Structure 1
Amino acid sequence: ALAKTEDQFTTYQFPPSPDHPGIRMVWNENGSQPGSWGNGWKWLNALRSPQIECVVGVHPWLENDLGFSDLILPAQTTYEHNDLVIVQRSDILGMFYQDQAIDPIGDSLSDFEIHRQIGLKLGLDEAFPPAEDWLKKAYEGTIACSKHGISWDDFKDRKYVIYDSPTWEEWVDIKKGNGFSERGGGMSRFWETGEGLETPSGKIEFVSSLISEHDPDNKERPPVAKWVSHEEAPDRPKAREYPLIVMSNHARYRFHVQGDDIPWIQELQKVEGVDGYRYEACWINPADAAARGIANGDVLKVYNDRGAVLVGAFVTERIIAGAVSVDHGAKMDIVALNNEQVDRGGSIN
């Protein structure tokens, strides 16, 4: 369940009391924080904190932060176990039975089985039934079973179910079940009845009554919505120290970190330095490059107060002056440069 909106105005403190032990263990599962999300150095420093007594990493691969684990539990890829796959965010809505394609690699277990084995050791047998039972129970809650009468065994034989779009009558039933009229939807309940908005006043609020009540002097989120310049924006004092804005977009040829270690993808998106190392590309406008004596292919150090990475210059008119672009998701490669820790892999996040 989502937290109540009012929680945004409540100040929480952690640890909640002076005698609270705080965080002593981190369970790091299927993530690669430095690379996929921001504050990568902050996350790695947290894992290295003396206060953290144990870090458990669960992943099929040795991702950027797995090397900071005390214990690594090898998880399986999707090819190594049976599963139930739901198709979403597509024009075709369906469900597939995923057959195990290969034997498990080494001692790897599925994510579910890793948790199940721990649960069994803790006496939580009922909470963690065998994976087959769990999948069957999940399937029996779908309309493929409840509406169309396709049993679990039949579904496993046929391998997939593709759903038809709802008929008009079914669609009307769905809308009525969510409080809408036959032709209604979206904000129709509000303009038909004057009700239905979840604001405190029940109206469209140009001045937020919640912010006015709880935090009216907040300069970053005032009661009346307006543009608030970020402290590191070009029009703020910080820009005198760091005049270029860095964008860290999704890469075209990989998904977050996934695919960064594939040679032919590296050939497409990396810049080979004079040392033969393939650096993450840094797009920079010719005007900015000329002002700094930068040529195409040069190895650059991109840095701010949060960390530093090495990248390869890609001089192009396809990026505006005043900004550079380094795609996020590179594999970290931490080296020492002039007694400073620098990521040669170019993991900008």
Structure 2
Amino acid sequence: MKSNDKCDNAPKITRRDFVKVSSMVAALPLVGFKFSHAAGKSSVTPSPLATPVVSVVPTCSTFDCGGKCDIRAHVQDGAVIQITTLPDAELDPAMPVMRACVRGRSYRKFVYHPDRLKYPMKRVGKRGEGKFVRISWDEATTLIADNLQRITDKYGPASRYVHVGTAVSGGTFSGDTMARRLLNLTGGHLSYYHSVSMGNTAAATPYTYGVAASGNSLDTLTDTPLVILWGHNPTETIFGHTNHYFQQMKQNGTRFIVVDPRYSDTASSLADEWIPLRPSTDNALMDAMMYVIITENLHDKTFIERYTLGFDESSMPEGVPANESLVAYLTGAKDGVKKTPEWAEVITHVPAQTIRQLARDYAMTKPAALIQGWGPQRHNCGERTARGSTLLATITGNVGIKGGWAGGYGGIGNRKFTTGPEMPDNPVKQKISVMNWVQAADDASQVRPQDGLTGGEKLDSNIRMLFSLAGNYLANQNPDIHQAVKVLEDESKIEFIVASDLYLTPSARYVDLLLPETSFMERWNIGETWGTGNYLMLSEKLIEPPFESRSDYDWLREVAAKLGIEQEFSQGRTEKEWIAHIWENTRRAMPDEKLPTFEELQVTRRHLFKSAPFVAFEDNIRDPKNHPFQTPSGKIEIFSRRLYDMHHPEIPALSHYVPAHEGPEDPLAKEYPLQLITWKGKNRASSTQYTNPWLQEVQTQKLWINPADAERRGIVQGDSVRIHNNRGVTQIPAEVTQRIMPGVVAMQAGAWWQPDASGVDYGGCANVLSSARITALAKGNSHQTMLVEVVKA
């Protein structure tokens, strides 16, 4: 998309800044540099062949990635001319900092791109047409302040909503956070709960363990003889720390089994065995594994007797009818169906003997780690799948021990974060699931407690004003794009939408005011890991923002001034002063960690938390009397009375197999016989960096289809194919490959939606096909569960 498509009345734009940088790169010899480190920055002593002076600054992005890449920005004359990464000499085996992946090494092309937004712009056409005119920043902030006042006076503060914006969620300081601060200072806003990434797991695992975090630090797996990666794909999602440890373990003899419908790059690089299964049937495979383990007497009886509730009839809570225990369910005492491998083979398409061997391998290898990724829980059966892995870990005694894993990967429990900016109390107490925002904008009366509303029986208002800051969720990542766009296009619903971004994304086309944001290289922040790393890294302002780009905090401060609360909002701090303030607050909150001062951080650049190896629930297992589990019984609850009392067929107390909506057993499969899944690719973080031409060369958007399914449809390699269901159509080339199992097709997530006049998408955006159905327990996303048909275009 050309930059002149973005603004009808914009004058011809000079690209001098971009051309200057390009000419620097072309003219600069990138050889003969000698690196030395002083004051936290690497200086470059030029060789006789290279005369320019270049500063090499260790920094990191603040994107929603698995870790904070250590990238080395080579800065010359106010421009970043090259990016390298952490040198081998600086690697710390005790805590490997994430080295830049292909995305990290391409950041310069992302920052210096001619299609970057340059000026504030106001919509002049219909929402979705992408027609804007250039306005001044004073006009822009006046529009925001006036609409905030008008909409609040008319509908109340609950009509204001700040959407999720993941392109900045890897940092401690972000525009969406400060927008919420501004709204809370002026009466509050409708807020949301739930993580699109792993909210179903976070909601489900406490019913087993009492808390959500159930992962260990990876240094506890050094001597683990067996790791089962269940829908976990770190090689492509680029969790650098994970790959560091897994590759070491592989070299030391650890056996890896990958359970996944797709032969991912993780399976290619690590797996001794690949076990493909049909999406949404994970619990059937887990049930059959538990049947084998128990009937072959391979379960850990001592562990089960001491630490658990609900394994057999003798360990059930009072008042529950007979035959509700795990053993009773598996042996068919209630329904007459034994959950044998042969039973599961029909459902999962995993051969019965493979299931038997997998169960035996897991139960007889001590210890063993079954690590589940976040993909399997993004189904409408995802809560059951997450809890199912906790039951397997429990009956084999792999909970709370070094080398084991408690299942239900809900995060690593020993990571450290900054305190973040202070947030005033939000007077609006109602909260919606992040999945409810379309309904809350369309008809607030349809969002009830049974639909995900908390903090009240009803919403006080529809969403009338919406901020989307550094996010592409509105009309790209949102499940069922067509449903969302229908609401966005209706200007009688949401009356004013503000977005800030670096590019005219599909979501940005549906806003009323579009603001040019700064990149991470043009502002101050602190990078926080959310993968398996445990460190904080300074993300320093390296260059000045191009054209009229401003950070969200900068213009929010101007809006606050026009509302008469600038001092209260900003506390008189610049962006850098906020970062220094947050860092000093964090130092005081962690006195034992001995964090450097902010001045020292600007020298050291990062702080590693060299904590002892962490094993989830180790204290609970070592000393259950003084450290009971945080469940009602104080034990690991294989059977959850809390779930049982919900009397919901999709929330079984044992988290066993229940056929999923739009799963392979749904009658809809007769019309749409293929299950579509998506994966997170190595060339972008969700949809971020989609337009980066370097990364488009890394991986192109194609539909993976098995040769058997392709032949049945007359499809050959490279054919353009139409993937469709009753929600939408997308058309992209076919990749005919044995790397996807029969009956399943796959495409990379995060492609930008590119519809033609008839609504057919040519970008390969899976969200035109996905569903907005929410999960039963968490009220979370289930967009991975979708049935489709594929035809040759």
TM-score (norm 2): 0.37
After TM superposition, the structure 1 = structure 2 runs for residues 71-150 of structure 1, keeping only pairs within 5 Å, are 71-86=513-528, 89=531, 93-96=535-538, 98-124=539-565, 125-129=567-571, 130=573, 131-143=575-587, 148=594, 150=596
SS of the residue 1:252 aligns to: coil
- Aligned partner of 2:644 among 204, 212, 216: 212
- Aligned partner of 2:762 among 333, 344, 347: 344
Higher relative contact order (CA 8 A, sep 6+): 2
8 Å CA contact retained: 1:35, 1:328:
no
Report the counterpart of residue 250 of structure 1 in structure 2: 680
Report the counterpart of residue 635 of structure 2 in structure 1: 203
Q: 1:100 to 1:159 in 2, by over 3 A?
A: farther
Q: Which amino acid aligns with 2:472?
A: S
Report the counterpart of residue 260 of structure 1 in structure 2: 690
Report the counterpart of residue 68 of structure 2 in structure 1: none
| Residue segments in structure 2 that go unaligned for 5+ positions in a row | 1-191, 195-202, 208-430, 434-447, 768-793
Separation in 1, partners of 2:637, 2:674: 37
After TM superposition, the structure 1 = structure 2 runs for residues 167-182 of structure 1, keeping only pairs within 5 Å, are none
Q: CA shift at 1:220, angstroms?
A: 0.7
**1:226-274 residue CA offsets vs partner (Å, 9 max, x unmatched):** 111112111220100100011111123222222322334334433xxxx
8 Å CA contact retained: 2:476, 2:507:
no
Report the counterpart of residue 155 of structure 1 in structure 2: 601
Q: 1:60 to 1:230 in 2, by over 3 A?
A: same
- Aligned partner of 1:236 among 662, 666, 670: 666
Q: CA shift at 1:35, angstroms?
A: 4.2
Q: Which amino acid aligns with 1:269?
A: Q
Separation in 2, partners of 1:149, 1:264: 38
Report the counterpart of residue 619 of structure 2 in structure 1: 188
Q: CA shift at 1:330, angstroms?
A: 1.1
Separation in 1, partners of 2:449, 2:634: 22
8 Å CA contact retained: 1:60, 1:77:
yes
After TM superposition, the structure 1 = structure 2 runs for residues 13-52 of structure 1, keeping only pairs within 5 Å, are 20-33=460-473, 34-49=475-490, 50-52=492-494
Q: CA shift at 1:206, angstroms?
A: 2.7
Q: CA shift at 1:94, angstroms?
A: 4.1
Separation in 1, partners of 2:616, 2:728: 48
Separation in 2, partners of 1:13, 1:233: 23
Q: Root-mean-square deviation (CA), in Å?
A: 3.3
- Aligned partner of 1:58 among 483, 497, 500: 500
Separation in 1, partners of 2:512, 2:633: 52
**1:186-205 residue CA offsets vs partner (Å, 9 max, x unmatched):** 15336624452222232332
The answer to whether 1:334 aligns with 2:755 is yes
SS of the residue 1:162 aligns to: strand
Q: CA shift at 1:68, angstroms?
A: 0.3
TM-score (norm 1): 0.79
Identity rate, percent? 26
- Aligned partner of 1:282 among 703, 726, 734: 703
SS of the residue 2:766 aligns to: coil
Q: 1:203 to 1:2 in 2, by over 3 A?
A: farther
8 Å CA contact retained: 1:35, 1:256:
no
8 Å CA contact retained: 1:232, 1:238:
yes
8 Å CA contact retained: 2:468, 2:500:
yes
| Residue segments in structure 1 that go unaligned for 5+ positions in a row | 176-183, 271-279
Which piece of structure 1 moves more, 47-56 or 115-124? 115-124
Q: Which amino acid aligns with 1:331?
A: W
